[in-house]
């Protein structure tokens, strides 16, 4: 088969190299974080994370460079990990958090580093550490976020309570709350974030929210607040419990730097409100809002709050995509990213406009930051290139790559060709997929195949260098790899992602099989040498596939849902009835219709089951039950259990073992 007859269209041509990528390589690649620019835009600071040494302990250093990426050098050392850097308004200092590498009990504390030389100055000794920081516009002080224990809501009281808990021989958790743990942490310790104002001249630190019982976004606690241009107040988004509904909801609050009770600005919103940002003139607050409290992937709408009149107004409401990570430029242009057809692009939106303009194409673009000169710095990645910093300059040439942190690790590594296909899915809809070919692939005969199903289910396989599900690493094993975006995926509008609510299995399963058949019919892959793998919802689909077809030679189920009825052991159960089509007390038949556990009689395909003990999103019992049933039934099965991992495998040595187990399992059943 010639290149011209390969299905779909070319996205990225093959990159020749001396060798294929390995799992160990993934942990030699520096991870580039969100860039920040100095006032005037002449310098940048970029956090870069590595895992040096034999123990591969995570280290994040801050790198200072000129705006074009030149004169790039580390400004923090190897003895402590740094985060959330922020230039002072006059550009002479950087505030950031620092956490010693050699102290397991230490918490990140706020530090201040003068850029004309000198040592970093510690500013805080918060018992549970500092999460995030912003400068006041006049440079006189900082606002930062730190946790305290509810009921012990002073620094001293929290310190005393932590000491008491350390000595207490009783190790028990008790709660009467619906949400009592999240992802991999228990919430019964009542640790909640507070906002503090630190005056640099007097070193006086005041708690602006002393009675707080709200949480910040659990997965992304940074970036959840903003300081007014006049420095008189802050605005923030927080997760609170609606006692009448017994449900959590995200609300926006503001509080004066002079003190007083926080004021909720979005109490009447139907669902979530989040990421507030002041306009440059300070007359408006821009925020995101969703309409459906029971659909976590509901489309984000932009809203404008007029500070003088108190009026809320929808903005850009006709646009079908979901804006994310928005920030204002100095001249009042809102910059943000948004998914579109399995890519993430950079957009701008003027205050007088109702539709955005696309500025830069993904791949996948994230963490945009607007410099004073209007340039936008952002992180960009693709299937073939790890994240690096790029710059979009208004009126200038096409976006330019600024940093080269990953060049050394990627030198000589071959990258397979990436293609994009579309085929007819369930009920005639169009389904998009990415297809990655092995490096050096010559299609003289159909190749072995791996179908990789994404989680969510309301997520997307984008054109990104995914470290946990790296397409190039799977393809480097000599197999063609597909990343299908079945119905329920995001980036094709709200209706496309909503349509599988209450029927998790039918359309996605039909779409996954349609993509498989499309590639078999094209002659690219061998229908007798196929594997399917997936995590979270993708793991659920592996269990569903096992009960509904034996066409795959083996399956890999990572952190997958096996028994939908028992998923109320999950952390966040709000909206579960909508997802599964019913509640355990009023919809058992609907729940059972999409329950893989009810189809165990037809499971015959060998399955590798992987789960982390600290997984509270899909509790470890889901994986153990699936494995136990397969073993009892006599189906070939292998269990890989990580005692120290959550829903994801995040530790370097564990990740390398994960890839080895997955590829060994596929190799055992899918022969070359």
State residue 672's pLDDT score. Answer: 62
How many of the other CB atoms lie within 10 Å of CB of 186?
13
Separation between Cα atoms, residue 619 and residue 651, nearest integer Å: 19
Q: How far is CA 446 from CA 6, 438, 486, 531, in A?
A: 11, 13, 24, 14
pLDDT, tens only, 322-336: 999 999 999 999 999
Confidence class of residue 266 from pLDDT cuts 50, 70 and 90? very high
pLDDT, tens only, 7-31: 999 999 999 999 999 999 999 999 9
How many of the other CB atoms lie within 10 Å of CB of 654?
16
Separation between Cα atoms, residue 417 and residue 1, nearest integer Å: 15
Separation between Cα atoms, residue 7 and residue 78, nearest integer Å: 48
State residue 472's pLDDT score. Answer: 98
State residue 3's pLDDT score. Answer: 47
State residue 602's pLDDT score. Answer: 97
Confidence class of residue 395 from pLDDT cuts 50, 70 and 90? confident
Separation between Cα atoms, residue 120 and residue 280, nearest integer Å: 31
Residues with Cβ < 8 Å from 4, sequence gap 6 or more? none
Q: Is the pLDDT higher at 101 or at 276?
A: 276
**Percent of the chain predicted with pLDDT > 90:** 94
Separation between Cα atoms, residue 98 and residue 553, nearest integer Å: 49
Q: Can you give the pTM of this predicted structure?
A: 0.96
pLDDT, tens only, 187-233: 999 999 999 999 999 999 999 999 999 999 999 999 999 999 999 99
pLDDT, tens only, 78-91: 999 999 999 999 99
Taking residues 545-572, report their average pLDDT: 97
Q: How many residues does the chain have?
A: 672
Confidence class of residue 268 from pLDDT cuts 50, 70 and 90? very high
Strands 93-100 and 80-87: antiparallel
Residues with Cβ < 8 Å from 129, sequence gap 6 or more? 97, 99, 107, 108, 109, 146, 147
Say whether pLDDT at 243 is over 80: yes
Q: How far is CA 104 from CA 80, 267, 580, 665, in A?
A: 12, 40, 41, 36
Q: What is the CA radius of gyration of the chain?
A: 25
Q: Which domains does the chain have, with CATH numbers?
A: 3-10+414-669 (3.40.50.1820), 30-409 (2.120.10.30)
Say whether pLDDT at 299 is over 60: yes
State residue 505's pLDDT score. Answer: 95
**What value does the mean pLDDT of the chain take?**
95
Taking residues 625-629, report their average pLDDT: 98
Give me the phi and psi of 209, to 5 degrees please: -130, 65
User: Is residue 383 helix, strand or coil?
Assistant: coil
Confidence class of residue 55 from pLDDT cuts 50, 70 and 90? confident
Taking residues 566-593, report their average pLDDT: 92
User: Is residue 482 helix, strand or coil?
Assistant: strand
State residue 443's pLDDT score. Answer: 82
State residue 427's pLDDT score. Answer: 84
Residue reference for tokens 């399992």: 665
Taking residues 481-486, report their average pLDDT: 98
pLDDT, tens only, 360-378: 998 999 999 999 999 999 9
Contact (CB, 8 A) for 316 and 349: yes
What DSSP state is assigned to residue 328?
A: E
């Amino acid at each position: 088969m010639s290149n011209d007859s390969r299905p779909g269209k070319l996205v990225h041509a093959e990159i020749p190299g001396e060798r294929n990528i390995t799992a160990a390589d993934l942990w030699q690649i520096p991870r580039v974080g969100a860039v920040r620019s100095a006032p005037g835009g002449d310098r940048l600071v970029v956090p870069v994370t590595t895992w040096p040494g034999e123990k591969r302990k995570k280290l994040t250093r801050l790198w200072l460079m000129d705006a074009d990426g030149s004169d790039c050098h580390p400004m923090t050392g190897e003895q402590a990990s740094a985060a959330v850097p922020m230039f002072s308004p006059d550009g002479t200092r950087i505030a950031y958090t620092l956490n010693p590498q050699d102290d397991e009990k230490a918490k990140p504390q706020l530090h201040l580093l003068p850029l004309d030389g000198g040592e970093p100055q510690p500013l805080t000794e918060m018992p549970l550490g500092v999460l995030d920081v912003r400068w006041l516009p006049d440079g006189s002080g900082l606002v930062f976020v730190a946790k305290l224990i509810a009921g012990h809501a002073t620094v001293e009281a929290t310190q005393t309570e932590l000491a008491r808990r350390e000595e207490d021989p009783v190790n028990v958790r008790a709660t009467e709350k619906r949400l009592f743990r999240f992802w991999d942490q228990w919430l019964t310790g009542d640790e909640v974030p507070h906002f503090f104002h630190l005056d640099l001249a007097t070193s006086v630190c005041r708690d602006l929210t002393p009675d707080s019982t709200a949480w910040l976004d659990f997965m992304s606690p940074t970036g959840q607040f903003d300081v007014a241009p006049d420095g008189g107040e802050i605005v923030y988004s927080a997760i609170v419990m609606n006692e009448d509904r017994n449900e959590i909801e995200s609300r926006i609050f503001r509080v004066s730097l002079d003190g007083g009770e926080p004021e909720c600005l979005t109490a009447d919103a139907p669902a979530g409100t989040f990421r507030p940002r002041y306009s440059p003139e300070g007359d408006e607050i821009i925020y995101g809002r969703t309409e459906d409290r029971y659909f976590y992937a509901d489309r984000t709408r932009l809203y404008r709050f007029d500070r003088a009149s108190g009026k809320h107004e929808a903005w850009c409401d006709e646009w079908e995509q979901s804006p994310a990570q928005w920030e204002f430029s100095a001249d009042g242009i809102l910059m943000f990213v948004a998914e579109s057809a399995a890519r993430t692009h950079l957009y701008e939106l003027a205050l007088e406009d109702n539709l955005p303009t696309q500025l830069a194409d993904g791949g996948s673009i994230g963490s945009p930051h607007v410099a004073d000169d209007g340039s936008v710095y952002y992180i960009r990645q693709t299937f073939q290139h790890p994240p690096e910093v790029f710059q979009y300059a208004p009126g200038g040439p096409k976006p330019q790559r600024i940093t080269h942190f990953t060049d050394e690790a990627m030198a000589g590594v071959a990258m397979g060709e990436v293609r994009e296909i579309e085929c007819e899915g369930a009920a005639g809809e169009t389904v998009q997929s990415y297809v990655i070919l092995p490096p050096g692939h010559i299609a003289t005969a159909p190749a072995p195949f791996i179908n990789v199903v994404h989680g969510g289910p309301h997520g997307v396989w984008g054109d990104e260098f995914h470290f946990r599900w790296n397409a190039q690493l799977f393809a480097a094993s000599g197999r063609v790899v597909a990343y299908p975006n079945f119905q329920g995926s995001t980036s094709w509008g709200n209706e496309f992602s909503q349509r599988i609510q209450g029927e998790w299995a039918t359309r996605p399963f039909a779409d996954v099989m349609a993509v498989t058949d499309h590639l078999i019919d094209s002659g690219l892959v061998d229908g007798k040498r196929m594997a399917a793998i997936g995590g979270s919802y993708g793991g659920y689909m592996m269990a569903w596939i096992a009960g509904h077809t034996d066409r795959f030679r083996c399956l890999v189920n990572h952190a997958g849902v096996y028994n939908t009825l028992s998923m109320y052991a999950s952390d966040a159960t709000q909206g579960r009835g909508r997802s599964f089509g019913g509640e355990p007390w009023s919809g058992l038949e609907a729940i059972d219709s999409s329950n893989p556990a009810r189809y165990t009689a037809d499971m015959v395909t060998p399955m590798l089951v992987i789960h982390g003990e600290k997984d509270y999103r899909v509790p470890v019992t889901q994986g153990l039950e699936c494995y136990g049933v397969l073993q009892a039934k006599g189906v070939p099965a292998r269990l890989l259990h990580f005692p120290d991992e959550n829903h994801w495998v995040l530790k370097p040595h564990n990740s390398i073992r994960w890839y080895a187990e997955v590829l060994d399992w596929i190799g055992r059943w899918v022969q070359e």
